[in-house]
Structure 1
């Protein structure tokens, strides 16, 4: 799908805005750009995303650290 750019702005088709919203973060990946939708209330979106997680932040951080160490060793 093509988007239109002009005057320093990116114009997205209404269909995409209806699906993903009107706010995006632009990520530069060198050979491409990525648009990530930004929730109207990012904190509420995080709460919803992690609503079913039973681990504490400390436990999640420890697991992430261990996963990174395991990945680095392989």
Structure 2
């Protein structure tokens, strides 16, 4: 007697799990933790370098757009 087969669990194409995303997040957190730890507790030379890296990571606001100034109008006589 033939057995009834059940279809395998279907997986959506975009449902790939969070494996790679988790790796990227852990890597970034590891780098940030290492830099901050070095800046606070490392030797003076390495601490200075780590503080420079932290300064690069700081978000600077975008510069204000240049304001066009109109030429002064000549007075009529």
TM-score, structure 2 normalization: 0.23
TM-score, structure 1 normalization: 0.24
Q: Which has the higher strand share?
A: 1
